[in-house]
Structure 1
Amino acid sequence: MLASAWADFQANLWLYLSMPITSGLVGYATNVLAIKMMFYPKDFIGKPPLFGWQGVVPRKAEKMAGIACDTLVPNLVTEREVFERLDPDRVAEELEGPVLELVDQLIDEIMSEFEPTIWETIPLRIRDMMVRRAQQDSPEVVAEIMDQIKDSIDQVFDLKRMVTSTLTEDKSLINKVFLETGRDEFVFIGRSGFYFGCIFGLFQMIGWTFYKGDFQLPLFGLLVGYLTNFIALRMIFRPQLPKKFGPLTIQGLFHKRQKEVARDYARLIADEIVTPRKILEAVLTGVHSDRVFTLIARNVQRAIDEQAGFARPFVALAVGSRKYIQMKQTAVDRLVKRLPETLHVVDNYAKEAMDIASILSSRLERLSPPAFEKMLRPAFQEDEWMLIAVGAALGFCVGVGQLIVFKAIAVTPAMTGAAAVLGLG
């Protein structure tokens, strides 16, 4: 028996040696496929609900975004903390040029629209004086509005809602969050699939040398597809804390990289999600924007009334109080509509002042292992069984293919003797 097995092995050396390589490739392919299935395609392809596929993360974007947001808000950063770092006077200073230009445009635009005749007959010197007078107090009004927004930030801005809606609406972005956070881990999953697959393939080779049961190759293929995924996931997240085994110190790969992940994750959040532009747009156009609009309207209308005292002979008395009120409301509406674009000039200052990346990075580094694991683990946990099952099924199919090839080769003259001894001929 042993002699026949050895003769068979020598006669078909390359065939046997292909087993570990094939098994390694199966392990690699199934692991990489599982990763791809987590994130792609971004939109459902096929015939819903049973036939087709959509990446696990995009399909459950809202839940994934909620989990990611729970890690950030309010555990790591709050609305008040973000805005407390902004200096209203500095914001007014940054906005001075664009706001003065906007005031000039609005006065000319509204007067030309409501009372073109009167506006055209007013001497240019007087018109310029009216504009300069209106512009004079603009920075002060901006600073006052900023102060009032800061005082009521909890009522006018929902950071968690902003983060969740941003991630939910942009499936590419939520994919990016997980892909960049677990960049090294995903590479490890693919490579480990090959290494572990090769190891399993060696056992497969030894087993096939001495016993050529029809079930053996498909079973090994299934086990390779299943175990390579399972083992890789365990090695990424376990153990959470370093453990010594003799001279070796073992720790889950993701936890070992906590400082590096914290830095990259914080940079991504600060650059793509919690940006000054998105924050200001959320304040001005979000679910609580009506409160902000009321606050801005009250301040702007008051400023207009204070300035109109100077120009009343040319404006209020000439156009009538009703039209004057309508003009004020139009001015406020157009001001608020153009504010998001105007406010973008403060992006650089706001990003530097808020310093979201540094805040998040330092706090993420101090997260407990269970809390830190929640940053990446949800991407694997959702439908993990399905991903592993697909890997196992693919491995099984490759094993069946191997069996067909090996059976075909078993009838060649080189293997006839061994096949007869083993009852395969």
Structure 2
Amino acid sequence: MLEYIHELWLAFLNRPDFWGVMSIVPVTAFVTWAHVWMALKMVFFPVNFWGFHIGPIPVGWQGIVPRKAGHISGVITDNALSKLGSLQEFLHAMDPDEMADIIGMQIDADLETLIEEVMLERNPILWENVPYAIKRRIFAQAHKQLPNILKELVTELTLNVENLVDMREMIVRRMEGDRRLMVRMFLTVGQKEINFIWHISALIGVVFGLIQMVIWFVVPWHWTVPIWAAIWGLLTNWIAIWMVFNPMLPHPVRYPQFFTRTQDHQFPWIKPIVPRMGTYNIQGAFMKRQDEVSTVFAKIVTEELITLKTIMTEMMYGSRKDRTRRIVKRHINQIMDTPLVRTTLQLSLGPKEYAKLKTDLIDRSIEITMVPVCDPAFNASRAQKIYQMFRERIRDLTPQEFQNLLRPAFQEDEWILIVLGGVTGFLAGLIHLFVAFL
């Protein structure tokens, strides 16, 4: 038997294509690893289109995620974020009463300046000649009413936020306005899965290389080298992407265990143990990390997407801003329509100018309200109030719902990555053929 094996080895050693055949496995592994790396990079980069246009036809490339930021974010919102809760629930968790107090302090500090600026813009001569005693009474009346009015306003905005803000539109606009945020979000949430795809591809390449080596002994036709390389390229990308999300549910498998990993994965990484039966969970790499991903994803959502700033900006300046202005106007009018203020200003300005003054005051009130809302520290304090809620609800998502946090980035355009694997595999196979076999 040993002599027979030795004879086969000598026959193989004397083949003219010996080095070409021996190179199949390492070349297939390396090429697979390299083109998967390239495909993964092309999912996210470049963030902006790189290339040129021939008329209306673009010739170049833009990462799939930044190119389709609006569509992908819309799908994620529909499939996952909308299931985590409503905007009304999020705003309520941010403590509206405390928000009203903080916003009220900001407006109250600037209230007299606000009234002065609006009046001087509307009718500077008249306002300069209004007796100081009357001005003080107007200021005092506004200061007196402001706290209750603001609490009522914030409460009403919270109760009606679903009618004032379209969460899907808000998130899509945010992502389209900052495509780097979309890329950063996917890389932060899915970096381990991206590394998994990249690293497992080399192992898959080794397996395919061994298969191709066997095929070469049966069908030693040169033209098959690039053909098989293209097939392996297609299959590698498909298998690698599939393994990230599938199987969706855990499938525990018992196996004999002779080694275990060292603590903190330190060198030598594994150590021998007394033989025993171990259990390995066969499940998609992303699906295994639901607890870990819930923490990372909740942090990104509460700090970047569903924040007090983004909600209020959409509410005040978004597509439904007219509804918001009507609510703000009704509450501001409680100050403007008190007998002292209304009588003084109507007699001084006239009915038309008085109506315009109220409009100006609403605009300026919105501007001042957005100052504390845009403060990073204020937003961070609100984010902490809903972070725990988000994290727990992501952990409670069903496997299908959880998969939709990341899957939309690949699913619709993953055929491009698969085809790209085939094309790069074919080109690498041609190079390999000319270098090693011809």
**Considering the TM-score relative to the shorter chain, is it more than 0.5?**
yes
Separation in 2, partners of 1:51, 1:118: 63
Do structure 1's residue 325 and structure 2's residue 355 form an aligned pair?
Answer: yes
Do structure 1's residue 371 and structure 2's residue 371 form an aligned pair?
Answer: no
The question of whether the paired residues in 2 share the 8 Å contact of 1:26 and 1:224 is answered with: no
Do structure 1's residue 202 and structure 2's residue 210 form an aligned pair?
Answer: yes
Aligned to 1:399: 429
Match of residue 415, structure 2, among 385, 394, 399: 385
Separation in 2, partners of 1:169, 1:367: 28
Alpha carbons of structure 1 residues 168 and 121: separation in structure 2 relative to 1, 3 Å: closer
Give runs of aligned pairs for residues 279-290 of structure 1, distance below 5 A. Answer: 279-290=311-322
CA drift of 1:126 comes to 4.9
The question of whether the paired residues in 2 share the 8 Å contact of 1:28 and 1:194 is answered with: yes
The question of whether the paired residues in 2 share the 8 Å contact of 1:300 and 1:332 is answered with: yes
The amino acid that maps onto 1:23 is T
For residues 129-174 of structure 1, what are the alpha-carbon distances to aligned partners after superposition, in whole Å with 9 as ceiling and x for unaligned? 4323322221211111112223323322222221222223332222
Separation in 2, partners of 1:100, 1:322: 27
Do structure 1's residue 42 and structure 2's residue 47 form an aligned pair?
Answer: yes
Separation in 2, partners of 1:113, 1:56: 50
Alpha carbons of structure 1 residues 73 and 348: separation in structure 2 relative to 1, 3 Å: closer
For residues 360-392 of structure 1, what are the alpha-carbon distances to aligned partners after superposition, in whole Å with 9 as ceiling and x for unaligned? 221111212122112222222223222111111
Aligned to 1:219: 227
Structure 2 spans left out of the alignment, 5+ residues: 1-6, 256-279
Aligned to 1:411: none
For residues 274-332 of structure 1, what are the alpha-carbon distances to aligned partners after superposition, in whole Å with 9 as ceiling and x for unaligned? 111101111111221111101111211221221x516845x443333443333223222
Do structure 1's residue 54 and structure 2's residue 59 form an aligned pair?
Answer: no
The question of whether the paired residues in 2 share the 8 Å contact of 1:56 and 1:382 is answered with: no
How many residues matched? 403
Do structure 1's residue 358 and structure 2's residue 364 form an aligned pair?
Answer: no
The question of whether the paired residues in 2 share the 8 Å contact of 1:255 and 1:369 is answered with: yes
Aligned to 2:370: 340
Alpha carbons of structure 1 residues 113 and 37: separation in structure 2 relative to 1, 3 Å: closer
Shifted more, 224-233 versus 126-135: the winner is 126-135
Alpha carbons of structure 1 residues 24 and 155: separation in structure 2 relative to 1, 3 Å: same
Alpha carbons of structure 1 residues 212 and 49: separation in structure 2 relative to 1, 3 Å: same
Separation in 2, partners of 1:31, 1:194: 9
Separation in 1, partners of 2:224, 2:8: 19
Alpha carbons of structure 1 residues 151 and 6: separation in structure 2 relative to 1, 3 Å: closer
Separation in 2, partners of 1:258, 1:113: 57
Match of residue 231, structure 1, among 236, 239, 258: 239
Match of residue 302, structure 1, among 322, 334, 349: 334
Give runs of aligned pairs for residues 259-278 of structure 1, distance below 5 A. Answer: 259-278=291-310
Alpha carbons of structure 1 residues 368 and 88: separation in structure 2 relative to 1, 3 Å: closer
Aligned to 1:172: 180
Match of residue 76, structure 2, among 50, 68, 74: 68
The question of whether the paired residues in 2 share the 8 Å contact of 1:229 and 1:388 is answered with: yes
The question of whether the paired residues in 2 share the 8 Å contact of 1:92 and 1:140 is answered with: no
The question of whether the paired residues in 2 share the 8 Å contact of 1:5 and 1:210 is answered with: no
Separation in 1, partners of 2:229, 2:28: 7
When the two structures are superposed, what TM-score results if normalisation uses the length of structure 2? 0.83
Alpha carbons of structure 1 residues 342 and 250: separation in structure 2 relative to 1, 3 Å: closer
CA drift of 1:231 comes to 1.9
Separation in 1, partners of 2:360, 2:182: 39
Alpha carbons of structure 1 residues 303 and 198: separation in structure 2 relative to 1, 3 Å: same
Separation in 2, partners of 1:293, 1:129: 27
The amino acid that maps onto 2:286 is F
Shifted more, 280-289 versus 226-235: the winner is 226-235
Separation in 2, partners of 1:3, 1:284: 78
The amino acid that maps onto 1:35 is L
Separation in 1, partners of 2:391, 2:346: 55
The question of whether the paired residues in 2 share the 8 Å contact of 1:192 and 1:228 is answered with: no
The question of whether the paired residues in 2 share the 8 Å contact of 1:111 and 1:119 is answered with: yes
Match of residue 38, structure 2, among 27, 30, 33: 33
Shifted more, 362-371 versus 194-203: the winner is 194-203
The amino acid that maps onto 2:328 is I
Shifted more, 334-343 versus 232-241: the winner is 334-343
Do structure 1's residue 185 and structure 2's residue 179 form an aligned pair?
Answer: no
The amino acid that maps onto 1:7 is L
Structure 1 spans left out of the alignment, 5+ residues: 409-425
Separation in 2, partners of 1:74, 1:407: 57
The amino acid that maps onto 1:144 is E
Aligned to 2:169: 161
Alpha carbons of structure 1 residues 195 and 108: separation in structure 2 relative to 1, 3 Å: same
Separation in 2, partners of 1:162, 1:7: 67
Do structure 1's residue 244 and structure 2's residue 252 form an aligned pair?
Answer: yes
Aligned to 1:21: 26
Identity rate, percent = 29
3-state SS in 1 of match to 2:249: coil
The question of whether the paired residues in 2 share the 8 Å contact of 1:141 and 1:299 is answered with: yes
Pairwise CA RMSD of aligned residues? 2.7
3-state SS in 1 of match to 2:60: strand
Alpha carbons of structure 1 residues 124 and 184: separation in structure 2 relative to 1, 3 Å: same
Do structure 1's residue 152 and structure 2's residue 141 form an aligned pair?
Answer: no
The question of whether the paired residues in 2 share the 8 Å contact of 1:262 and 1:365 is answered with: yes
3-state SS in 2 of match to 1:375: coil
Alpha carbons of structure 1 residues 118 and 195: separation in structure 2 relative to 1, 3 Å: same
Separation in 2, partners of 1:400, 1:351: 54
Shifted more, 290-299 versus 152-161: the winner is 152-161
3-state SS in 2 of match to 1:302: helix
Separation in 1, partners of 2:307, 2:13: 69
The question of whether the paired residues in 1 share the 8 Å contact of 2:33 and 2:198 is answered with: yes
Shifted more, 101-110 versus 294-303: the winner is 101-110
Separation in 2, partners of 1:310, 1:213: 95
